[in-house]
Chain A
Amino acid sequence: MQANPSKKEPIILVRNLSARFGRRVVLKEVNFQIYPNEIAVILGTSGCGKTTVLKHLFGLYPIQKGEVFLMGERLNEITEDDYQRLVRKVGVLFQNGALLNSLTVAENVAIPLEQHTRLPEDLIEYLVRVKLKLVELSQAFYLYPSQLSGGMRKRAALARALALDPPLLFCDEPSAGLDPLTLQALDELFLKLKNQLGITIVMVTHEIPSIFRLADRVIFLHRGEVIFNGSLPDAVARSPEPVREFFRVGMADTRHGAHPPVEP
């Protein structure tokens, strides 16, 4: 484990977290911490438990074994009231967007504002427009989710996750299905959020360019265990073999724009 560079309290602290579904063990004694104002990227091959870890972090899964602290609060036996209060400070972008299909994009973004504030309607509308502009979806204001493409839906969901300006943002594969240009714009938005608003971002992603643009911290999961937790340069150079292989193959991928030839 790395020394804490910023000497701050961790915003997320996971201790000995284990999880199993039925008889299948998904997480084995997972330990890591994430500090405020950093972008942490959770990596790993498909099916290694990334989404499971993420869903534990904001309390969507009950904790079977171990401990999770979110902004200093222990999630294990948190009361419903405390949890409600806590998740208001958390924005979550789900893998498939999870927009409410019966509402327009604008109405979706307005949900948290209408439910949790007493702001007048015109202010809410302003905020919705701003958030949609941030994700470059101003034109989708009156559209329904079913009228959007997959990438647009995800960006609309991001706008909703940002509605209350949460200090902590969780993203489950925000970049999947985006073209490189939109992806870059989205990454710039993430950096802006981090640098200007001091947001902490925890994301699961596979996009190597994104990881290089964003990651302050890399957490690598392999078969339900954290095998690396540290800075990006360390992850590329000094890390266990599966991590280095991930970056080796991934970087070759981006350089040639296609999969590298398989060596015998």
Chain B
Amino acid sequence: MNRRNEQKHSSAPETPLSWEWNHQELRFRGDLTLPWVDDAVEPLFRELKHFSPSQLVIVLDEVKRLDSAGVALLQRIATVLEEKGKTVLFASVPRTIAPTLKMFTLERSRERTPPARLFWIERLGEAVDRFFRIDLIRFVYLMADIFYWSFADLFTHRQRRKGEFVNQVVLMGANAVPIVSTIALLIGLVVALQSAAQLRQFGANVYVADLIAISMVQEMGPLLTAIVVAGRSGSAIASEIGTMVITEEVDALKTMAISPVRYLIIPKVHALVLSLPLLAMLANFLGILGGTIVGYFYLNISPYVFYNRMVQVLEFRDLMTGFVKSLVFAGLIVITGSFYGFRVQGGPEGVGRVTTASVVTAIFLVILADSFLGLLFY
């Protein structure tokens, strides 16, 4: 009963819907409006299945009110019967509801069919085609643009956004310090702990220092920093640029004769190229600290011995490897983020899509580049 009261129109009092079958006549009484129709649909269509005469006359003279749901119900009855080759007539439609009946009646002729979905192989073909014809080229162009401007911008002060570089260093570098340090310390602890178990079997405890130092500086430090930053800043870049594209801000910049790449991306490139190596160095330090802690408490290696051992095995080359990797990763993260940002399609939901895609791609590219560089510097 509650359900009925709730939909009450504020004006006239409402009357419950009822209907009556009379051989080939169906007479409705009361309100043919949504709450009543909602309750009536099921029993009515059940009764309709047993309807046998070749003609149905729907009598509406006692219908008090009608709305779109009511019309939908009437039209549906008509369609169902006409599909079975029967005729349906509306009789004595009161003048009060006739316009409403007309207003909500659809001509049944032309139903649009949904757009055909492509066969999977067609979709695959389209994706591959799009990748090689559009995406790859755009990616290369964007890379070239970024590469050119990141050097050109250093030598000219005109058109540079004041304060943006510092702002970005804070956002992408300084603000990432807590999370990067925590993760690096934990990774250092865990790697040392896992390898200690193996090394102890050979009494090669002290080599844990070699292992931690080299793996952190060459590999883990830059890599894990890049992954964290790709998640933090890569996604931020993609969503920022993406939002600017769909709100036409990027177009506005273009019409003001300002290169969006230079204005929006270059400060980020510079900021990340500076801060990613620094963050990686911080990660190296904390990772090794983690190793030292495990060494001291678990393997009885004094920090002094650990330090000496580390200095012996680490070469300048190892540091440079890590540094170069960081630079490459920084470039990849910014390029991927901005590539997806500029590629956004559709409305705000498109921004969410490109953001996700940019993080996944950035992490993939970082790891791919890491393997190549690892082989190169091995």
Q: What residues on A are CB-neighbors of B72 within 8 Å?
A: 119, 123, 126-127, 130
Interface locus among A22-30, A49-57, A194-202, A209-217: A194-202
Taken residue by residue from 12 to 24, chain B's Cβ proximity to chain A (1 for < 8 Å, 0 otherwise) reads as: 0000000000000
Give chain A nearest CB distance to B76 CB in angstroms. 6
Q: What residues on B are CB-neighbors of A119 within 8 Å?
A: 37-38, 41, 69, 72
Count class of interface residues, chain B? 35 or more
Interface locus among A138-146, A222-230, A237-245, A248-256: A138-146
Q: Name which residue of chain A comes closest to B8, CB basis.
A: A89
B157 CB-CB contact with A under 8 Å: no
Q: What residues on A are CB-neighbors of B69 within 8 Å?
A: 117, 119, 123, 127, 165
A7 CB-CB contact with B under 8 Å: no
Q: What residues on A are CB-neighbors of B6 within 8 Å?
A: 85, 88-89
Cα separation A11 to B11 with both chains bound (whole Å): 9
Question: B41 touching A196 by the CB < 8 A rule?
Answer: no
A131 CB-CB contact with B under 8 Å: yes
Give chain A nearest CB distance to B97 CB in angstroms. 9
Question: B9 touching A198 by the CB < 8 A rule?
Answer: yes
Cα separation A11 to B9 with both chains bound (whole Å): 11
Q: What residues on A are CB-neighbors of B336 within 8 Å?
A: none
Cα separation A119 to B73 with both chains bound (whole Å): 10
Q: What residues on B are CB-neighbors of A71 within 8 Å?
A: 10
B318 CB-CB contact with A under 8 Å: no
Q: What residues on B are CB-neighbors of A65 within 8 Å?
A: none
Cα separation A51 to B348 with both chains bound (whole Å): 23
Cα separation A102 to B73 with both chains bound (whole Å): 29
Interface locus among B51-59, B98-106, B186-194, B195-203: B98-106
Taken residue by residue from 59 to 78, chain B's Cβ proximity to chain A (1 for < 8 Å, 0 otherwise) reads as: 00000000111011101100
Q: What residues on A are CB-neighbors of B9 within 8 Å?
A: 167, 198
Give chain A nearest CB distance to B112 CB in angstroms. 6
Question: B34 touching A165 by the CB < 8 A rule?
Answer: yes
Question: B115 touching A168 by the CB < 8 A rule?
Answer: no
Question: B100 touching A197 by the CB < 8 A rule?
Answer: yes
B338 CB-CB contact with A under 8 Å: no
Q: What residues on A are CB-neighbors of B45 within 8 Å?
A: 120
Question: A11 touching B10 by the CB < 8 A rule?
Answer: yes
Pick from A11, A118, A141: contact of B112, CB below 8 A: A141
Question: A88 touching B104 by the CB < 8 A rule?
Answer: no
Interfacial residues of chain A within 61-102, with CB under 8 A of chain B in the complex? 71-72, 85, 88-89, 101-102
A123-B69, A139-B112 known; 4 new pairs, CB 8 Å cut-off, are A88-B6, A122-B76, A145-B347, A167-B11
Sample (7) of A-B pairs whose CB atoms are under 8 Å apart: A9-B10, A71-B10, A88-B7, A117-B38, A119-B72, A144-B346, A164-B34
Per CB-CB distance, the 3 closest pairs between chain A and chain B, nearest first, are A146-B346, A146-B347, A101-B349
Which A residues are closer than 8 A to B by beta carbons? Answer: 8-9, 11, 36-37, 71-72, 85, 88-89, 101-102, 117-120, 122-123, 126-127, 129-131, 133-134, 138-139, 141-142, 144-146, 162, 164-165, 167-168, 192, 196-198, 200
